[in-house]
């Protein structure tokens, strides 16, 4: 099959759906490529780089749509300014389109595409499951948007992010507030912290607190008990009481921070209004707000989609094309996601895709198959909970029958766990007693030390924080090489064989000891910031 890459016609779009690297990998699966001339120019991928990997370059978009079996794009089909027709009408029966579609928000486009009798896979509809993470275009683009939001804020802020003490005076560090700690929010936190700012973040989902702290930011809590965890990793709509408490918290923060980056979105709903006009007015002159939700109505009341505006001395950035402002990086990640999608569609590696509706990843991504609208997909199948593994299969125990109360007798009961422990202890005591009765005196001394060492080792390991188990194992591995002492003693023993074995034991245990402590230090550095 032939894959076509037309040039994006959306105003301001600089990304491209395939890079030379992704083309090389997909050609190994048996696919060929036809690319419109100039499709990668804005992403710094010249036509010559595509020719170098064996792609065919054509002069116009219609040739791409006509000759290709699979069309890969970034933006949804729209009116082509040069051809004077809708891109959706160029699809045709038997062809497959892979791009952003937004099927829930574009029912008219869905009907137009279905009329072509072609198939459509929406990359924005990839299921949010673990197996589909490598196809998750939304996360890839959100990651770039969060990083770029910090860069835009730094450009408009006009001051250092990091604090400095110079001969000309002291420069305080910038204070950054990130609202929403999804993929974009976490990327923004990491970038702002890397630039030296004091970063704070809030989110309605309490489970992201550890992720925020791990990136060096302070997690801000709302004085209201409510879990905001929704489906698919997104947040849910919060109650009026929570929203009121959140507004009070954000109002206090707006007066303190220099930069606010908002990333709050709920699928299928307008962006929640979090930053009011009053909060903007209370911010210090020169402050910056970057609203990543501007295209869906905005988290800030005064933001405008695609524009930079200034109110009360505060710069409000409402760009909706942040991934496109890092076009080369965005194209590389986007094309890699599509490469993984094609690999999922072509399990036989024969250059032919198979839209397998039994595959949960492909089923969720496919919104139209051969002219039939298949969106929305059915809810995911939930596998039955597996029974807890058991080391020993215990026979069923019949429930005891209680005697009538009038007779004054109680029912028989099964042995309790305390009784079982007592029985085991008694058996162990008998075994140790028999060993002590018949064993030599020297053996009893060594055996006692051995039992006590096992007990102490068990208690030490049991009381260690689980996060430190691996470093602890490497230390105990090194300490266990105390057998080197025994080897050193045997070196002076008569006999060449014993001497050689003793030297070999010394060398091996020395490597074990040094390696154990070296691995320990390396692991402990992972726990240090």
Residues annotated catalytic, as ranges: 128, 133, 136, 139, 234
The Cα–Cα gap between 480 and 26 comes to 51
If DSSP codes are grouped into helix, strand and coil, which group holds residue 34? strand
Ramachandran region, residue 26 (left: φ > 0; alpha: ψ -120 to 50; beta: rest):
alpha
Residues ≥6 apart with Cβ < 8 Å to 459 = none
- Is residue 306 within 8 Å of 332, Cβ to Cβ? no
- Is residue 410 within 8 Å of 403, Cβ to Cβ? yes
- Is residue 299 within 8 Å of 272, Cβ to Cβ? yes
Q: How far is CA 201 from the centre of its chain?
A: 18
Selection from 234, 291, 285 nearest residue 261 by Cα: 291
Q: Is the dihedral of CA 414, 416, 420, 423 positive or negative?
A: negative
The Cα–Cα gap between 258 and 260 comes to 7
In the β-sheet with 119-122, what is the strand arrangement from edge to edge? 56-58, 32-36, 2-5, 70-72, 96-99, 119-122, 366-369, 372-373
Per DSSP, the residues of 113-156 read HHTTT-EEEEGGG---SGGGGGG-HHHHHHHHHHHHHHHHHHHH
Phi/psi of residue 486, nearest 5 degrees: -60, -40
Count other C-beta atoms under 10 Å from residue 389's C-beta: 5
| Cα-based torsion angle of the residue sequence 487, 490, 495, 496 in order, rounded to the nearest 10 degrees | 30
- Is residue 69 within 8 Å of 96, Cβ to Cβ? yes
Count other C-beta atoms under 10 Å from residue 210's C-beta: 10
**Which H or E run contains 340?**
helix 327-345
- Is residue 266 within 8 Å of 235, Cβ to Cβ? yes
Per DSSP, the residues of 306-330 read T-EEEETTEEEE--S-TGGGGHHHH
Count other C-beta atoms under 10 Å from residue 258's C-beta: 21
The Cα–Cα gap between 277 and 312 comes to 9
């Amino acid at each position: 099959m032939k894959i076509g890459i037309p040039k994006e016609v959306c105003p301001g779009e600089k990304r491209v759906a395939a890079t030379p690297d992704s083309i090389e990998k997909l050609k190994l699966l048996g696919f060929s490529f036809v690319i419109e001339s100039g499709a990668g120019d804005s992403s710094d991928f010249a036509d010559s780089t595509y020719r170098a990997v064996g792609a065919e370059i054509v002069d116009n978009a219609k040739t791409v749509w006509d000759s290709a079996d699979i069309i890969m794009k970034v933006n949804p089909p729209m009116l082509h300014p040069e051809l004077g027709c809708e891109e959706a009408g160029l699809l045709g029966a038997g062809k497959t389109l892979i791009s952003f579609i937004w099927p829930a928000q574009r029912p008219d486009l869905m009907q137009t595409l279905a009329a072509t009798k072609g198939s459509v896979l929406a990359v924005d509809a990839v299921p949010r499951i673990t197996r589909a993470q490598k196809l998750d275009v939304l996360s890839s683009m959100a990651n770039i948007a969060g990083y770029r939001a910090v860069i835009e804020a730094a450009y408009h802020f006009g001051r250092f992010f990091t604090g400095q003490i110079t001969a000309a005076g002291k420069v305080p560090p910038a204070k950054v507030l990130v609202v929403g700690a999804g993929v974009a929010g976490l990327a923004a936190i990491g970038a702002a912290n890397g630039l030296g700012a004091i970063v704070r973040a809030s989110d309605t989902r309490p489970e992201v607190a550890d992720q925020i702290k791990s990136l060096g930011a302070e997690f801000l809590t709302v004085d209201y008990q409510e879990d905001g965890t929704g489906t698919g990793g997104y947040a849910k709509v919060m109650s009026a009481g929570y929203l009121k408490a959140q507004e009070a918290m954000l109002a206090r923060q707006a007066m303190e921070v220099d930069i606010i980056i908002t990333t709050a979105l709920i699928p299928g709903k307008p962006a929640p209004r979090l930053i009011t006009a009053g909060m903007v007015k209370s911010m210090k002159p020169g402050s910056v707000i970057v609203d990543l939700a501007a295209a869906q109505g905005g988290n800030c009341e005064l933001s405008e989609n695609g524009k930079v505006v200034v109110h009360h001395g505060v710069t409000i950035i409402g760009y909706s094309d942040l991934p496109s402002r890092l076009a080369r990086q965005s194209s590389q990640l986007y094309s890699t996601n599509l490469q993984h999608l094609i690999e999922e569609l072509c399990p036989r590696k024969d250059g032919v895709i198979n839209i397998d509706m039994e595959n949960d990843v492909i089923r969720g991504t496919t919104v139209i198959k051969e002219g039939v609208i298949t969106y929305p997909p059915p809810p995911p199948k939930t596998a039955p909970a597996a029974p807890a593994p058991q080391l020993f299969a215990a026979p069923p125990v019949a429930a005891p029958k209680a005697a009538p109360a009038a007779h004054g007798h109680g029912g028989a009961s099964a042995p309790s766990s305390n009784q079982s422990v007592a029985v085991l202890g008694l058996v162990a005591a008998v075994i140790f007693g028999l060993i002590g009765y018949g064993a030599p005196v020297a053996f009893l001394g060594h055996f006692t030390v051995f039992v006590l060492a096992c007990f102490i080792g068990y208690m030490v390991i049991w009381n260690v924080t689980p996060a430190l188990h691996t470093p602890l194992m490497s230390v105990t591995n090194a300490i266990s090489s105390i057998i080197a002492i025994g080897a050193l003693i045997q070196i002076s023993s008569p006999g060449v064989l014993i001497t050689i074995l003793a030297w070999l034991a010394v060398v091996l245990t020395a490597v074990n000891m040094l390696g154990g402590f070296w691995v320990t230090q390396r692991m402990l550095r992972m726990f240090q910031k």
